[in-house]
Structure 1
Amino acid sequence: MPADAASLAQAHVRIARPSRDLAAAERFWCAGLGLSVLWRIEGGDQPGEHSLLMLGWPEATWHLELVHDVAEPVAPRPTEEDLLVIYLDGPVPDDLVARLTSHGGARVAHSNPYWNTWGTTILDPDGYRLVLCTRAWPMT
């Protein structure tokens, strides 16, 4: 593996998305899934002044960044293939699914039967899909 590819393989990943309601998103991702607030910026009501919420597990190599601009909001436009997949390497806990749905999520069937076989799909408050997968990563 070339040196640049090796360093990229260790790089931290940010997944950025617009959000309609950062408070609702925070309830889902933090109280529901168990992520922590890593950073928060409260924006104003002028164009370009956006509110920002960064969520993740402090020790993870990725985080989720949610952005909302009050003056010029960007509507989330998720498709069925915009997935955040978490590989659990075991059964999806019923209490986790219940916690996610009680904090603003909605359990849905996925149009791809693979995800229905190997996981549970939950819509977040902005309509993006979180898949809790029973498989391990890397897959063997």
Structure 2
Amino acid sequence: MPVDGRAHVRIARPSRDLAAAERFWTRGLGLSVLFRKEAEEGAPPEEAHSLLMVGWPDASWHLELVTAAGPFPQPAPTVEDLLVVYTAGEVPEELLARLEEHGGKRVPAHNPYWDTWGVTVEDPDGYRLVLSTREWSNEQALAKR
């Protein structure tokens, strides 16, 4: 298959606490656990990691979170490490409350654009999820150029 718009995308990053991340992304945002692998006891350090993949079953992307007991890069998110989800309408307060209840924290956006067009929530690892009230289509964006 050629690399094009039908290619599935995986967003992978480290996590400090997979259980906390799972609560945020599944119970908070509503993603499903797609795959899970626990670190095998006694495995060599380069293989002794746990991972969690979450996403919506019908999406063409998923989020992979990885952690390890031994030497492993800790998350180092910046204020511009964003995962933006376009809601094409107001962000429900009940969704924001659920995200906060499951480890998220509402924060002001570094770029004021996102405060105008959405809500920014920091996940348990410090990465930012933006729920944008706008809608987005790559085809529409190209047609407007």
TM-score of the aligned structures, taking structure 2 as reference length: 0.89
Q: Given that residues 31 and 103 in structure 1 are in contact (C-alpha distance below 8 angstroms), is that contact kept between their aligned partners in structure 2?
A: yes
Residue 38 of structure 1 aligns with which residue? 34
| Distance (whole Å) between structure 2 residues aligned to residue 57 and residue 110 of structure 1 | 25
In 2: Cα distance, 1:113 partner to 1:129 partner: 14
Distance 1:129 1:15 in 2: 13
Further displaced range: 15-24 or 44-53: 44-53
Which of residues 2, 6, 9 in structure 1 aligns to 2:5? Answer: 9
What residue in structure 2 maps to residue 116 of structure 1?
115
Aligned amino acid, residue 51 of structure 1 = S
8 Å Cα contact 2:80-2:110 kept in structure 1? no
- Structure 1 portions without partners, runs of 5+: none
Which piece of structure 1 moves more, 67-76 or 93-102?
A: 67-76
* Correspondences of 1:84-123 after superposition (within 5 Å): 84-123=83-122
The letter for the 2-side match of 1:59 is D
Letter paired with 2:19: A
Matches within 5 A, 1:19-38: 19-38=15-34
Provide structure 2 residue ranges, at least 5 long, that are not aligned to the other structure.
none
CA RMSD of aligned residues (A): 1.5
Q: Residue by residue, what CA displacement relative to the aligned partner does 1:79-105 show, whole Å, maximum 9, x if unpaired?
A: 111100000000000000000000000
- Residue 74 of structure 2 corresponds to 75
Structure-1-length-normalised TM-score: 0.92
Q: Percent identity?
A: 62
Amino acid at match of 2:82: L
SS state at 2:57 partner: coil
Task: Tell me, yes or no, if the aligned pair for 1:55 and 1:64 is still in contact at 8 Å.
Answer: yes
Q: Contact 1:20–1:73 at 8 Å: present in 2 too?
A: no
d(CA) in 2 for partners of 1:72, 1:44: 16
Instruction: After TM superposition, give the deviation of residue 44 of structure 1 in Å.
Output: 3.3
